[in-house]
């Protein structure tokens, strides 16, 4: 059982800078969301990121590519995907999805937090993860932790779903007392 945290690649500046959209509620799955990119680059110079973490108020939301949505929805039940379209400077549409992942409260007691509430050492409880392949860790306030298993990570890499950063996470198989 191997799991990885995936994060947006932050060292790339040539991707659509998506402005904060007005998002529909989760119970409005057929409502489409639009936003205009603030980037002044032409479409040919864009790198379409498969995975974007976007601040929304005191929280974060995930915006994923059409290709990543196909992969995630094929392997994990429980997430919600809302169509999201942004336009480049030329007014051409870039399809994305706002992704509301399954949230699992699976922190193990050995997880360590810093004084500011961010995670110093993440340890997940294998019993609470069960057979889930893609999920957000519940109970973390500072930044979202989107976790994928090894199979999903390998498929993302094989299918060219990059650039993104991945970090292995610790899994405890011990039972919590």
110 in a domain, yes or no?
Answer: yes
The model's confidence at residue 120, banded by pLDDT at 50, 70 and 90, is confident
24 in a domain, yes or no?
Answer: no
Q: Check pLDDT > 70 for residue 128.
A: yes
Q: Are 61 and 136 in contact (CB under 8 A)?
A: no
DSSP 3-state of 8 = strand
Of 177, 160, 140, which is closest to residue 169 (Cα–Cα)? 140
> Which residues, in sequence order, are bridge partners of residue 146?
6, 136
Parent domain of 36: 3-19+30-172
For residues 124-138, average pLDDT: 94
29-33, 94-98, 145-149, 153-157: range with lowest mean pLDDT:
29-33
Question: What are 104's two structure tokens?
Answer: 């699992």
For residues 137-142, average pLDDT: 84
Of 139, 134, 62, which is closest to residue 100 (Cα–Cα)? 62
* Per-residue pLDDT tens over the stretch 35-85: 444 444 444 555 567 888 877 766 778 888 888 999 999 998 888 998 877
25 in a domain, yes or no?
Answer: no
46 in a domain, yes or no?
Answer: yes
What is the total count of domains within the chain? 1
177 in a domain, yes or no?
Answer: no
What contacts 35, CB < 8 A, 6 or more positions away?
A: 18, 19, 20, 21, 84, 85, 86, 87
| Residue, of 137 and 58, whose pLDDT is higher | 137
> Which residues, in sequence order, are bridge partners of residue 36?
87
The DSSP code sequence of 19-81 is ----PPPTT-TT--EEEEB---S-GGG----SEEEEEETTEEEEEEEHHHHHHHHHH-SS-EE
The model's confidence at residue 125, banded by pLDDT at 50, 70 and 90, is very high
Place of tokens 């995975």: 51
| Residue, of 138 and 53, whose pLDDT is higher | 138
pLDDT at 7: 87
125 in a domain, yes or no?
Answer: yes
């Amino acid at each position: 059982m191997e799991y990885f945290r995936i994060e947006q690649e932050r060292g790339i500046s040539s991707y659509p800078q998506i402005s904060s959209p007005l998002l529909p509620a989760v119970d409005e799955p057929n409502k489409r969301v639009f936003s205009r990119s603030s980037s002044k680059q032409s479409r040919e110079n864009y790198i379409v990121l498969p995975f974007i973490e976007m601040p929304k108020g005191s929280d974060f939301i995930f915006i994923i590519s059409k290709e990543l949505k196909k992969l995630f929805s094929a392997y994990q039940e429980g997430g919600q995907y809302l169509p999201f379209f942004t336009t480049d400077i030329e007014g051409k549409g870039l399809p994305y999805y706002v992704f509301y992942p399954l949230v699992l409260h699976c922190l193990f007691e050995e997880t360590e937090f810093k004084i500011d509430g961010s995670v110093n050492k993440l340890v997940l409880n294998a019993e609470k993860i069960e057979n889930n392949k893609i999920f957000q860790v519940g109970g973390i306030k500072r930044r979202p932790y989107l976790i994928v298993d090894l199979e999903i990570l390998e498929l993302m890499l094989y299918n060219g779903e990059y650039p993104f950063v991945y970090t292995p996470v610790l899994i405890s198989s011990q039972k919590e007392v």
